[in-house]
Structure 1
Amino acid sequence: MARTTLFTFSLLLTILLGLLLTLSPAVSQPTLEALPKIRAGTPPHSVLGNIMGSNRQFMQGIKATDPGRQLTQAPHLIWLADPDPRISPEMVWERKAGGIYTVRNLANQLEPAAAAIDYGVRSLHGTILLITGNTDNQAIAQFNEGYEHLGTAIRRELNQLHPPLARLLATTGKSAEEMQKLLVRQVESNVDYQVSRALERYRDRVDSGRLVVAGGVIDLANHYGGGPGRLYLINLNGETEPGKIRQSSHVVRVPPEMRDYLGRRSAR
């Protein structure tokens, strides 16, 4: 009896050791699985390659012994814009024309960018502050849809859109076409509001003629019918009436073919 029990115990121990030896490689060696792709788009290595390649192209014709660029002149233009990647400086300024001082934040708001704008106006003595909104503005669309689920910093910035959009809050039951037209009016209202805040903040420089504050809309979605990317100047030192804007001495150098885009127009 004792011999049978010992044999049975030895057999079970042998089977158990065999199972452990069989399973141990799978336990000790991690399974190699493909990592899921986090998001669609251009991979980082391509972006970094483009960054360095662009700088190489920029540096063509510049010698290693050339002196560095000196900030000796005031920027011709201080530009406050939305960070939408579809917007580029070439839409409002030719590179060869001189310096452009660019500040961008969600929905082109003055207050969140006050320090940078103050520096451009009061320290660098810029003469034009151009504030541009854009149709199909994703920040204002997010404001309409609700943003309570977003991060603290984004909520804080979007919260500041309540004053300019208080009269034009989105309501339920609107068709897609109605919402599209509402968004255009919101963009225009926000530009007017930001211009008014700039006029309050820099009143001394505006009154002395050392600063002009202009507001415009870059029509990315071609809602006005002038082509996608067209700039419409809708506010000039607080003046919003198209006829008076066209009569201003500040626009005498605007090319004749561009005078049709001075002043706001109804979205299609």
Structure 2
Amino acid sequence: MKIDLSGKVALVTASTGGIGFAIAKGLAESGADVIINGRSAQSVQGAITRLQHDIHGATLYPAIADLSSAAGVEQLLGTLSGVDILVNNAGIYGPQDFYATDDATWENYWQTNVMSGVRLSRALLPAMVEKGWGRVVFISSESACNIPADMIHYGVTKTAQLSLARGLAKFVAGSGVTVNSVLPGPTLSDGFAEMMKDEVAKTGKPLEQLAKEFVMANRPASVIQRAASVEEVANMVVYVCSLQASATSGAALRVDGGVIDDIV
């Protein structure tokens, strides 16, 4: 299968590192023009430089904005035109005791993980529907189904993304625009590496080994019994954004390594 997204413009939010960067790279390799989003000029330019080094002739655009507020989304939208593919990857996570999670924390997670996608979809979907083609993808998580007891606030936002994506898919039914969710499981992302850096230094173990131990201790239902790579997650996203995926909409597609113990 050859995925060709030439002539398509893709916005990947929070795409300066981790899963977002891998998605941006996969889309650019498939011929799409990609808008790179991050919160600072330095991080955005750094990501663009890395991608230009890896992909000869890639067309990349900077979009500097913090999407945790309506003002930040408006700032981003003011720089955009003609977006065919929207990948809502922006998100935050972190463990916290439920009793200690105050309203401000809940609001920050809700605005960043859910409302950024609501606002961007509301602004960009009409033009996709008018053209008769478009792709919207929400990067959710296996935590949407397996709500973590130590990250309830996070899990709730990831579940909300599934509802949002399914509802939007029905809202634009028959238009040629698809809306889907992708659910990564434990992944060797930049965030995971940062979380484990002290353990790497203390034990001398490679990150991949520590990730495997983390999976087996915290996600023992994993079928692959390891963490996924960011490229493995990105591969699913690139396919969902492709012309070949035109019959897939309203779906929650798992790249969780089989962590969710469900046959559906």
* Shared fold per TM-score greater than 0.5: no
* Structure of higher RCO (CA pairs closer than 8 Å, 6+ residues apart): 2
Structure number with bigger Rg = 1
Shorter-chain-normalised TM-score: which range? 0.3 to 0.5
Instruction: Provide the TM-score with structure 2 as the length reference.
Output: 0.35
Instruction: Provide the TM-score with structure 1 as the length reference.
Output: 0.35
